[in-house]
Amino acid sequence: MRIGALEAGGTKMVCAVGDESGEIFERISIPTESPEITMPKIKDYFKKKNIEALGIGCFGPINLNKKSETYGYITSTPKLAWRNYNIVGALKEALGVPVGFDTDVNGSMLGEAIYGCAKDVDNAIYITVGTGVGLGVYINKQLLHGAMHPEAGHILMARHASDAYAGKCPYHKTCLEGLAAGPAIEERWGKKGVELQDRDEVWKLEAHYIAQAIVNYIYVYSPQKIILGGGVMHQEQLFPMIRKEVEKLNNGYISLDVLGNLDKYIVPASLNDNQGIMGAIALGYQAANEK
């Protein structure tokens, strides 16, 4: 079937058409401005594509409680123009098709679970480290929702002894996002991460914070695979550093025999940065098949 996919990000909206096999037929990118400017362009694109369902992986926070009057809304986002915007309702009304909806990072997790490197496990997590930090959680072959959705990019961190940086997050300062997201790297070191590739001390500190979070996620979610994506994780030298630091911080508490080979346990995203849009396709397919 023809499925529309929207990866709704804070900088750009990626619109695509594909099918349930994960094949992407076409895509465009639309800048994320205000709803009044951006949404008509999204609607016009999909109206011409003869889609049978739509999946949305969206920046948040968002309301995923289907019993709530504000299900499908973007809620307390720092992007003020989008605060309390009914993105699901607007697209369902315009297109007249079933709409699947989840966070952008849950969408990426679902893409990896259906089409990528988590196909062989029942439980996995996807961590994106970029402009922000987010966590998608896949438990017993289902995305995890509760009162809302996991906001584990904002877990509070123990500051490294050598790190005097105040933290970037306006809410928590020294949460994972506040210490390890791209803007924190740039503010702490005075340059963007891509300009710091040869600075070993930058990536050792980054690996420490990401590994500290991973150890917490292991203890809480007991995942069978941990996938790392996002712009910061294009620094491939981080992966061996993170694995080594996870082993150090675990300190023998959980036998690594339980987790297996860390090279295969903590892995990069596998879908060539298409995991988000492929996850949106999967969300659309699920919505079309809901009873």
Note whether residue 39 is domain-resident: yes
Residue 111 lies in a domain: no
CATH number at residue 58: 3.30.420.40
**Single-letter amino acid, residue 265:** Y
The pLDDT tens digits for 238-287 are 999 999 999 999 999 998 787 889 999 999 999 999 999 999 999 999 99
Percent of the chain at pLDDT exceeding 90: 91
Residue 109 is assigned to a structural domain of this protein: no
Q: What mean pLDDT is predicted for residues 199-210?
A: 98
The answer to whether residue 251 is domain-embedded is yes
Q: Contact at 8 Å (CB) between 78 and 60? A: no
What pLDDT score was predicted for residue 291? 64
Arithmetic mean of pLDDT, 18-41: 97
Question: Does 182 fall in a domain?
Answer: yes
Q: Count of domains in the chain? A: 2
Average pLDDT over residues 141-151: 88
Output the pLDDT for position 267. Answer: 98
Residue 112 lies in a domain: no
Q: Are residues 44 and 162 in the same domain?
A: no
Report residue 248 as tokens. Answer: 């150090």
Query: Where in the sequence is the domain holding 154, given as residue range(s)?
Result: 117-268
Strands 3-8 and 12-18: antiparallel
**CA separation, residue 28 to residues 13, 14, 156 (Å):** 8, 6, 37
Residue 79 — very low, low, confident or very high, per pLDDT cuts 50/70/90? confident
Compute the mean pLDDT over every residue in the chain, rounded to the nearest whole number: 96
Same domain, 240 and 278: no
Q: Report the pLDDT value the prediction gives residue 26, as an integer from 0 to 100.
A: 98
Whole-angstrom CA distances from 62 to 75, 116, 222 are: 5, 25, 25
Residue 94 has pLDDT above 80, yes or no: yes
**Dihedrals phi, psi of 94, to nearest 5 degrees:** -75, -35
Mean pLDDT of 200-221: 98
38 assigned to some structural domain: yes
pLDDT for the residue numbered 111: 98
- Shared-domain flag, residues 201 and 67: no
Residue 28 lies in a domain: yes
